Amino acid sequence: MAGEPGRIDRIGKLPIPALAIAVEVGLLLRVAAANLVEWWVRRGGGERVCLFPDAEYYWELARTIRDGEVFQIVEWGDIPHFALRTPGYPLFLASCRTLLGDRPLGARLVQAGLGAVCVWLVFRLTRVVLGGSEKTGTGRAAPIAAAFTSIHPYFVIMSVVLLSEAVFAPLLLGFLWALAVLWDRDGARAMLGPALGAGAAAGAAVLTRPSCLLFFPAAIAAWLAHRAVSGRSIRPAIVATMVAAAGFAGVMAPWWVRNARVYGEFVPTALWMGASLYDGLNPQATGASDMRFLNDPDVWPNSERDQDELLKRRAFAFVREQPGRALELALAKLGRYWSPWPNAEGVRSPWLTVAAGLVMGPVLGLAGLGLWTLRRDGRAWVILAGPILYFGLIHAVFASSMRYRTPGEIPAMGLAAVGLLRVVDGASWRSKQA
């Protein structure tokens, strides 16, 4: 293989128009998926807007924003929930409903465009993280990563269903790109712009998907630790961290102020953690989500705040009383998270299982090989692998599904590209790395 450089060039050293092709293909696939999903949802009639129950909450909250009503969901015996969800994704849907009307297809098509933007973002992110070195071969990974993102079957579908992942993914990639730019930059002045962008993207991402809250400070801490260990100046990085924190707080502040007025106390994200935690840690838990316990007579009559606290206490009590079962559930959740095929009850079939396994098995394997190849690269661990590993840990506690892996899998396409180059290059890659 070492004697066939032309072959590698055809795979990895693609001209710039190839990126445009990847973006265009990604957009076309997502537009087709948007129309297919819309037809599938509407084929039986009725008022459903999506395949998933969560979408109904988002759609209703978007209506309250558009119509200037109180941001709330009233369910479970007419009990109002003012922070059932954070406002990031409902704000997006409200904008779509205002500009494009109430038909969900309009929002799906806008999300298809965001999915295509993610193809470009993955290209830029991979290029910044891995550099453009032809000597190591990592410079050829960016166009391959973009191609993987363009045709990734799960991401194509997740781009057009009415769930927060469609908006969260570009925000996560924006944060990662800003952090990649900051990684080796010196001088506080040169860091200000990327740091502010990173903080703002992180804030918007948390307002869209609160489960990512701990990832951003962990990633920043890893960056600071890397600079300290490598002997680089830490002072400008601390200044940049403060700027990022200011950007984060600036985006989050309106939600914090609103919650303080509603509840009389600080509520950082949503009052849904108790339900989510108990969903994953209760005597009937299997690892999948099953929130029928919300209909129990000792649960639903409680106020939103009391219900959240009650379910948190019950989840912690379950772990204390049955630690062995909690560990078994964690392993089951990890299995669901890393599953190559969908594991939700409504989408299982032998044909889909085989097809998904044949596609996603190799992709996950290539990502693992790419991470092993770059195992000494701290930036690759934090930026390309960090999100998928973080969400795996989070969903070893909460209910789990391969759906929750998809946003973290998108930056990991850079690792899959490195894995592919390693396979194609064979022994020559090892000699280049040496």
DSSP 48-88: ---SSHHHHHHHHHHHHHHTT--S-EEETTTEEESSSS-SH
Structural tokens at position 190: 């040169």
Per-residue pLDDT for 108 more than 50?
A: yes
- Helices vs strands, H then E, count in the chain: 20, 2
Q: What's the pLDDT band for 175 if we cut at 50, 70, 90?
A: very high
Model pLDDT, residue 259: 96
Structural tokens at position 290: 């099953």
- Cα distances from 371 to residues 127, 178, 250, 262, 363, in angstroms, run 16, 21, 35, 46, 12
Closest-CA residue to 89 (of 117, 61, 110): 61
Q: Cα separation of 335 and 287, whole Å? A: 9
Model pLDDT, residue 1: 37
Q: What's the pLDDT band for 6 if we cut at 50, 70, 90?
A: very low
Q: Is 426 helix (H, G, I), strand (E, B) or coil?
A: coil
For 351-375, how does the pLDDT look when each residue is reduced to its tens digit (9 = 90+)?
A: 777 777 888 899 999 999 999 999 9
Cβ contacts of residue 292 below 8 Å, gap of 6+? none
Per-residue pLDDT for 310 more than 90?
A: yes
Model pLDDT, residue 231: 85
Q: How many CA atoms lie within 13 A of 257 on its CB side?
A: 6
% of residues, the chain, pLDDT over 70: 90
% of residues, the chain, pLDDT over 90: 71
- For residues 344 and 365, the model is more confident at 365
Q: Which of 50-64, 208-222, 319-333 has the lowest mean pLDDT?
A: 50-64
Furthest C-alpha separation in the chain: 72
Per-residue pLDDT for 127 more than 50?
A: yes
Q: Could you count the other beta carbons within 10 Å of the beta carbon of residue 96?
A: 23
Structural tokens at position 263: 């509840």
For 64-101, how does the pLDDT look when each residue is reduced to its tens digit (9 = 90+)?
A: 999 999 999 987 667 889 999 999 999 999 999 999 99
Model pLDDT, residue 50: 76
Q: Which of 16-25, 117-126, 304-313, 377-386 has the lowest mean pLDDT?
A: 16-25
Residue 80's beta-bridge partner residues?
Answer: 74
Model pLDDT, residue 4: 39
Q: Could you count the other beta carbons within 10 Å of the beta carbon of residue 339?
A: 18
Q: What's the pLDDT band for 344 if we cut at 50, 70, 90?
A: low
* pTM for this entry: 0.92
Q: Cα separation of 75 and 150, whole Å? A: 39
Closest-CA residue to 156 (of 343, 22, 52, 324): 22
Q: Cα separation of 278 and 315, whole Å? A: 5
Is residue 296 within 8 A of residue 277, CB to CB? The reply is no
C-alpha dihedral (278, 279, 281, 286), degrees to nearest 10 = 160
